Structure 1
Amino acid sequence: MSGDSKLFKDALGELGDVKPLVQERRVTLRKESEPSERILRERRAAATRLTESEMNPLSGEYIELVAPWDPIEFKRDGVQNGVYRNLRLGKYTVDARLDLHRHSVEMARSAVVEFVRDCVEADVRCALITHGKGEGRKQPALLKSCIYHWLPQLDEVLAFHSAQKQHGGMGATYLLLRKSERKRQENLERHQRRF
């Protein structure tokens, strides 16, 4: 017996009558073999929310409001200044349009993602989103502010700018979209044939 255990036993002996602690009986909980219907519904709802957020990359976080008469603009690095100027001046043919009037924010969010993807798939390079200015509303320019916040999050959008008066002015936005992979490949082949 080591010196430490002898000291321990001696110390216990001085205390007198030492008894071991009584252990309480433990109850074994039965695990549910199958989740309840409520739990299954909650799991399905969570999976649906995850799927929707994966399909729609636009964030639903706080959006800073833009004034109804302020222009909105954005240009990615690599977009030539002349191309952006032509977009801003409305010199490109608008090949597709999306009207967001009477849309809720959530409806508009889904519509914008779907519209941009459809445009790229159809090789549309310049599109127009009409969102209104929201003048005289409780929250003026709400959809306009959302568009300003959402579009830079979509990689397919190279640039955007508030439209010219004939296309809706500050209540609409021109979009310059990335070429589809098919169109890029065609351009590459056409340029290679020149050399």
Structure 2
Amino acid sequence: MSEPRDDDEDDAELFRSAIGPVRPMRETAPPPSAPRPRPRARMAERDEAQAREQFRHALEDSLLEAGDALSYRRDEVSPRLLQKLKRGEISVQEELDLHGADTREAEQLVRAFLHDARQHGVGCVRIVHGKGLHGAATIASGGQPVLKNLVDRMLRHRADVLAFHSAPPAQGGTGAVLVLLAPRRLRS
């Protein structure tokens, strides 16, 4: 280690005399640090993603094929009444044909049709969705009939639908569905 030179000490003394008396600066708070990221529930996010994936696969696994029959009944509907519907023994009062409709249009048509039928006191309707053997939507969906699956999903989630079943062969077979609607309740 070398000893400090006299020139360095002279320069420091010269600097201090040129500046004059010095007062220390008061201490300031350090600048704020970047905010810490909010904690994430990574395991919950992963569980949620896995649940969505399983649900999507369950939906894909439950898709109907062209020849599959649609069938559903609420608990308050007797199995005997569903059998009558299945055999076509309940008179159909109105019909909706979805041939040529895309999914968005078909969904709107079904909603409006069922609403109007219920408003007019119609108890049983037929919706012709087609078997799904032809058409670009069927090919794009991996061979499943798009409108048939759409109608099935929609009818199962409607409160005004009591039961439905694919029509007997003379009334359209698996390309149509007979729908039993709940009676309209009058407001008092």
TM-score normalised per structure 1: 0.62
- What is the CA–CA distance in structure 1 between the aligned matches of 2:100 and 2:26, rounded to whole Å? 79
Deviation at 1:19, TM superposition (A): 2.8
Query: How well do the aligned residues superpose, as a CA RMSD in angstroms?
Result: 2.6
Selected match of 1:157 from 161, 166, 178: 161
Which residue of structure 2 lines up, in the alignment, with residue 5 of structure 1? none
- What is the CA–CA distance in structure 2 between the aligned matches of 1:120 and 1:67, rounded to whole Å? 29
Deviation at 1:21, TM superposition (A): 4.2
How do 1:5-44 and structure 2 match up within 5 A?
17-21=24-28
Selected match of 1:180 from 138, 162, 184: 184
- What is the CA–CA distance in structure 1 between the aligned matches of 2:179 and 2:132, rounded to whole Å? 20
Selected match of 2:77 from 61, 76, 79: 79
User: Which amino acid in structure 2 is aligned with residue 98 of structure 1?
Assistant: L
- What is the CA–CA distance in structure 1 between the aligned matches of 2:25 and 2:153, rounded to whole Å? 73
Which residue of structure 2 lines up, in the alignment, with residue 120 of structure 1? 118
| Superposed CA offset, 1:134-191 (max 9, x none) | 1144033110011111111110000000111111100000000000113x99xxxxxx
User: Which amino acid in structure 2 is aligned with residue 168 of structure 1?
Assistant: G
Which residue of structure 2 lines up, in the alignment, with residue 147 of structure 1? 151
Runs of 4+ in 1 over 3 A off after TM superposition: 61-64
- What is the CA–CA distance in structure 1 between the aligned matches of 2:118 and 2:128, rounded to whole Å? 18
Identity of aligned residues (%): 31
Deviation at 1:86, TM superposition (A): 0.4
Unaligned residue ranges in structure 1 (runs of 5+): 1-15, 23-60, 186-195
- What is the CA–CA distance in structure 2 between the aligned matches of 1:87 and 1:18, rounded to whole Å? 93
- What is the CA–CA distance in structure 1 between the aligned matches of 2:83 and 2:112, rounded to whole Å? 26
Deviation at 1:17, TM superposition (A): 2.8
Which residue of structure 2 lines up, in the alignment, with residue 98 of structure 1? 96
TM-score normalised per structure 2: 0.64
User: Which amino acid in structure 1 is aligned with residue 156 of structure 2?
Assistant: P
- What is the CA–CA distance in structure 1 between the aligned matches of 2:159 and 2:175, rounded to whole Å? 23
- What is the CA–CA distance in structure 1 between the aligned matches of 2:171 and 2:96, rounded to whole Å? 12
- What is the CA–CA distance in structure 2 between the aligned matches of 1:94 and 1:115, rounded to whole Å? 14
